[in-house]
Amino acid sequence: MQKIIGRIAAAAMFTTMMSGLALADITIGVTVSSTGSGAALGIPLKNSVELWPTEIDGEKLNVIVLDDAGDPSIATTNARRFANDDKVDVIVGSALTPGSIAISNVANEVGIPHLACSPIPPNVAATKYTFVMPQDAGLIARTLFKKMQDDGVKRVGYIGFSDSYGDLWVNQFKAIGEEYGLELIADERYARPDTSVSGQVLKLVAAQPDAVFVGASGTGAALPQLALRERGFEGTIYQTHGAVTFDFLRIAGEAAKDTVFASGPVMVAELQDDASETKEEGLDYVTAYEEKFGAGTRTQFGAHVHDAMAILKRAIPIAKQVAEPGTQEFREALRDAIETGGPFPASQGVFEFSADNHFGLDERAVVLLAPSPKNDGSFDLIK
């Protein structure tokens, strides 16, 4: 308990103004996993907040950033602090699915718009105040399952995290896999902190699948990738958008060959057609991020924070016509503006929410990638 209290007390916090809070200023609470097992995902989110503007529509932004260490209980504590102490107008976060679910529970209890930065189940996304930045599991799954079908895959082995993120993909397989002629013949799980999946991979290989589907994120997605190749599996491996990082390619090395990744378009912003509705925002984000943090440091996790701001820059002026920031009336108006004010072009897709759709993305938000044959640690578009 003392360690948790210490983490919260030492959480990173900054504001974009020098004076104290004022009624008309807009306050945003951000909770991300900048330490712990989700740090590979959370740090790019935290870094991306530093690229946010200092004001929107003439109103200064107060941005409070806290670390939840990938722990849903800390994410809950952070969300309650935002609601009760900081009186925020909107909450952004977290980097991991369990944390985003926890924040959603608080946001919907107290009535604060919440922009989730990790995939969450449909029942959570269906709540009134939570909107989802990443592509929903159904959109990603259909893209990957169609590719499997086109590749002649019939029998699929699955390995993924033993948490709600891993459950997302198995549930999608059970719901729609048969539509694509796919049969799930093995289902193996591992914990995010695990350093070996040898036992699980042995069972997968023994089942003799045509392909393996991995439901994991960050560098943790490379663990089964390496183990499968070490055990002689030569079939195609299909990875979700949670695995699409340059660090994954660096860690997996040769083991990344014959892998298909579903991804948001920001990872290949430069390769998009000039007519793409996501290219301008994608290049803006990639250029700003890599100028500040170095070439090849972009991630689509950080891009979710960029996209949250792309939405807020258009929704906040609409909400201001109804009420002043800092009031519950403004939070309600902001929620309504996010839900009805689209389309919002962004780096990862074009968001258009509705009362019965808080995912808001369509096929423009997904591309298929493969490791570049140049072996330079980059991705190529699969046409």
Range of the domain at 194: 137-263
Separation between Cα atoms, residue 87 and residue 37, nearest integer Å? 29
In a domain, 93, yes or no: yes
In a domain, 375, yes or no: no
Residue 346: helix, strand or coil by DSSP? Answer: coil
Cis peptide before 343 (omega within 30 of 0): yes
Provide the β-strand partners of residue 281. none
Mark whether 148 and 127 lie in a shared domain: no
Mark whether 102 and 176 lie in a shared domain: no
Mark whether 258 and 166 lie in a shared domain: yes
pLDDT-flagged residues of the chain (< 70): 1-24
Mark whether 226 and 340 lie in a shared domain: no
Residue 289: helix, strand or coil by DSSP? Answer: helix
Instruction: Report, in angstroms and rounded to the nearest whole number, the Rg of the chain calculated over CA atoms.
Output: 20
Residue 332: helix, strand or coil by DSSP? Answer: helix
Mark whether 11 and 97 lie in a shared domain: yes
Provide the β-strand partners of residue 299. none
In tens, the pLDDT along 305-320 reads: 999 999 999 999 999 9
In a domain, 277, yes or no: no
The one-letter code for the residue type at 141 is A
Q: What are phi and psi of 121, to 5 degrees?
A: -65, 155
Separation between Cα atoms, residue 269 and residue 367, nearest integer Å? 11
CB-based contact 118:100 (threshold 8 Å): yes
pLDDT given for residue 219 in this prediction: 87
Pairing of strands 259-263, 367-371: antiparallel
Separation between Cα atoms, residue 97 and residue 357, nearest integer Å? 18
Mark whether 247 and 298 lie in a shared domain: no
In tens, the pLDDT along 348-371 reads: 999 999 999 999 999 999 999 999
In a domain, 355, yes or no: yes
Instruction: State how far the alpha carbon of 236 is from the alpha carbons of 180, 190, 198, in Å.
Output: 17, 20, 19
In a domain, 239, yes or no: yes
In a domain, 273, yes or no: no
The one-letter code for the residue type at 240 is T
Q: What are phi and psi of 114, to 5 degrees?
A: -130, 125
In a domain, 379, yes or no: no
Number of domains in the chain: 2
Of the candidates 224, 217, 6, the residue with the CA atom closest to the CA atom of residue 118: 217
Mark whether 48 and 76 lie in a shared domain: yes
Separation between Cα atoms, residue 326 and residue 49, nearest integer Å? 20
Residue 126: CA atoms inside 13 Å, Cβ hemisphere, count? 4
Of the candidates 69, 92, 72, the residue with the CA atom closest to the CA atom of residue 82: 92
pLDDT given for residue 2 in this prediction: 43
Residue 269: helix, strand or coil by DSSP? Answer: helix
pTM: 0.86
CATH number for the domain harbouring residue 254: 3.40.50.2300
pLDDT given for residue 23 in this prediction: 52
Instruction: State how far the alpha carbon of 4 is from the alpha carbons of 32, 36, 37, 71, in Å.
Output: 15, 12, 15, 9
Pairing of strands 55-56, 59-67: antiparallel
In a domain, 274, yes or no: no
